[in-house]
Amino acid sequence: MTAPEKMAIDPITVEVIGSALQSIVEEMGEALVRASYSTNIKERRDCSTALFDHRGNTLCQAEHIPMHLGSFLGVIPAIRARFEMADIRPGDVFMANDAYAGGATHLPDIVLAEPIFVDGGLVAWAVNTAHHSDFADRGHEHIYQEGIRIPPVRLYREGVLNQDLQEMFLLNCQVPRERISDLRAQMSANRLCVQRLRDLCTKYGAAKVLAAGDALQDYAERKMRAAIEAIPDGTYSFEDQFDSNQWSGAMTFKVDVTVTGDEMLLAFDGPPQVRGGLNLIYTSLLAAAYFTVKSVLDPTVLPNAGLARPLTVTAPKGSILNCAHPAAVEGRIAASQRVTDLVYGALAKALPGKVMAAGNGCCTGAIFNGADEDGNMWVYLETIGGGGGARPGADGLSGIHVGLTNTSNLPVEALELEYPLTLLRYELVDDSAGLGEFRGGMGVRRVYRAEKACRFTVESSRVASQPWGLDGGLSARGTTLDFGDERTSFAGMVDLKPGQIVSITTPGGGGYGDPAKRPEAAIRRDIAEGRVSAELARATYGLDA
């Protein structure tokens, strides 16, 4: 099809249509969460919804999981690479999850995309991704071990389900009942989007809606450029350590952030890709970079394709930060979180007093899987928050997710009903925060008891390194794992016996500013509340408690 002519549009209509587009993606998000079955989506909201324009650029995205800023980016180009435009019809639904051929970032994030046609022309794409909690207990030497790989394929052709394809997919899933239900919820979210966008085009005309979409991207670009322009030109460098309980030995990641006028180059460097599920596909790196820059420079910039225009992001091909086939990518969130730390660290030099200390820097994952008496498998995945970094002017938040993730916990009362697990403790960890004029947030301890035999996998980092403080603030405590046996914190996967107790302690957030400047009243309150022990307070602040 030919692209509609570019039309002039006033800023008020742009804002009015922008509100309507935002309503649509939010409605999609709610529909997806509410109709889904798996705990990871329905309670933990590990999913995202978006509209892409007819060229495949992000138009509008609901606020769920920043990591998904990347899970989407490659999808429409991947579809277009496999299918002729003339062959794409209303009612087609494309499904993809592969990091190399599917435009996604790791296999559990399954993307469904449906083209939206108005008067025979493609105007936009309804797209959503949901993290299907499946493909557990796998190897990660390369991507072939990590689950079924799906390039863009048509799950529906003009509204008709491809049953064979669906059966093939479900047979490769450990919990097929959840997968089919979640797919249904994803379908229903996209259908709503298609309907709503068509209604909007009926009201305003497709050309005006598209013009507003273009204007919204230009608008995001202008805001981004205005914010970059305010940073002094120069190169700001930072390096940090990356480690994982699933990989022996620490690695060094580096970034040079170069600001020139209203443009920014983020040049990353890291070691060669590893035979472990820790590698980042390029779009994961983009998601991490976009998120961090937006959050520091202007949190209100719309998360559409316009925000990326002034940014250039590079990393050596074949490195852990920009991996090549067949590198495994399942746990890409761990290194992505360190990428956000890198960018924060570099921007702190560019914008002193505007950036917080390092947060817990993890997206600590706990995965339990087993089978019931009939051999049906169950998989339970959760991620655990930790401390947020101390901010210039305020203590860090305790027990939160930082960076690219922001999933909810599962209520204990739901967890224990659905899985043979008992949660014994869920608490903030005393003395886990980095101290300073402003204290970091506290890390979290979660203690589980397995009621039946099952397999337990932990994915964590900051085991050997610590979240750093800023401007004189001290670093926080890192991760510790206790498997109830002789294993150390560097173990990754273990078999649990009934009654076995395991414990995960996540890092706190780094401190900000010289501890000597912390007011005595704040120190005494921390001691009274048990957040900081009297011994540590004495050692750090010299305060005689």
Partner 1 sequence: MAWRIGVDSGGTFTDVCLFDEDSGKVEIWKVSSTPDDPSRGITTGVVEGLDQVGKTAKDLSFLGHGTTVATNALIELRGVKTGLIVSDGFRDLLEIGRQKRPNLYDMNADKPEQLVSRDLRREVPERMRYDGTVDVPLDEAALRAELRALAGQDIKSLAVCFLYGFLNTEHEELAKRVIAEELPEVFVSTSHDVAPEFREFERLSTTVVNAYLGPVMQRYIRRLKENLAEIGLEIAPQLTQSNGGVIGFDTAANLPVRTVLSGPSTGVVAAQAIGKMSGFDNIITFDVGGTSSDVALLQNGVCQLTGEADVHGYPIKAPMLDIHTVGAGGGSIANVDSGGLLKVGPRSAGAHPGPVCYGLGSTEPTVTDANIVLQTLNPVEILGGRMKVRRDLAVESVQRLADKLGLDVMETAQGIISVVTANMAKAIRVISVQRGHDPRDYALMAFGGAGPLHAARLARELDMGQVIVPLTPGTLCALGLLLTDLRADFAISRLLPLDDSALTSIDAGFADLMGQAAAWFDAEDIAGDRRVMTRTADMRYMGQNYELSVAVPAGPITSETFKALEEGFEAAHRQRFGFVAEGEQIQLVTLRLEAAGVVNKAQFKPQPDEGPDASAAQIGTRDVYMAEAADFLPCAVYARDKLRPGNVIQGPAIVEQMDTTTVILPDMTGSVDSYLNLILEVKA
Residues 406-425 that bind partner 1 (CB under 8 A): 406-409, 411-414, 416-417, 422-425
Within 69-108, the residues that bind partner 1 by CB under 8 A are none
Q: Is 299 in the site for partner 1 (CB under 8 A)?
A: yes
Contact residue for partner 1 among 435, 444, 494, 537 (CB under 8 A): 444
- Find the shortest distance in angstroms from Cβ 149 to partner 1: 27
Q: Which is nearer to partner 1, 424 or 539 (CB)?
A: 424
**3-state DSSP assignment of residue 473:** coil
Nearer to partner 1, 327 or 410 (CB): 410
Name residues contacting partner 1, limited to 345-404 (CB under 8 A): 356, 384-385, 388-389, 391, 393-394, 397-402
x/- site string to partner 1, residues 14 to 53, per CB under 8 A?
A: xxx-xxx-xx---x--xx-xxxxxxx--xx----------
Q: For residue 507, give the nearest of 391, 422, 428 by alpha carbon.
A: 428
Number of residues that bind partner 1 (CB under 8 A): 88
Binding residues among 515-544 for partner 1 as defined by CB under 8 A: 528-531
d(CA 446, CA 422): 11
Q: Which of 52, 125, 219, 438 binds partner 1 (CB under 8 A)?
A: 219
What is the DSSP pairing of strand 480-482 with strand 444-450? unpaired
Q: For partner 1, give the closer residue by CB, 74 or 441.
A: 441
Q: How far apart are CA 289 and CA 389, in angstroms?
A: 18
Radius of gyration of the chain (CA): 23
Among residues 28 and 274, whose Cβ is nearest to partner 1?
A: 28
Q: Give CA angle at 129 (164, 368), nearest 5°.
A: 85
Beta strands in 287-388 (DSSP E): 311-314, 364-371, 377-384
Count the Cβ atoms, other than its own, within 10 Å of residue 516: 11
Shortest separation between residue 453's beta carbon and partner 1, angstroms: 19
What amino acid is encoded at 10 in this protein?
A: D
Task: Tell me how many degrees the CA angle 454-460-462 measures, rounded to the nearest 5.
Answer: 150
Tokens 């761990």, residue?
334
- Residues of this chain, 183-212, that bind partner 1 according to CB under 8 A: 184-185, 187-188, 191-192, 196, 203
Cβ at position 484, least distance to partner 1 in Å: 16
Q: Which is nearer to partner 1, 11 or 232 (CB)?
A: 11
3-state secondary structure of 267: strand
78 touches 151 (CB < 8 A): yes
Instruction: Quote the least distance from Cβ 194 to partner 1, whole Å.
Output: 11
Q: Which of 405, 408, 407, 409 has the alpha carbon at shortest distance from 69?
A: 405
CB 521, min distance to partner 1, A: 13
Of 163, 107, 112, 161, which Cα lies nearest the Cα of 136?
107
DSSP structure string for 186-198 = HHHHHHHHHHHHH
Scan residues 122-181 and list those touching partner 1 (CB under 8 A). 177-178, 181
Closer by beta carbon to partner 1, 140 or else 477 = 477
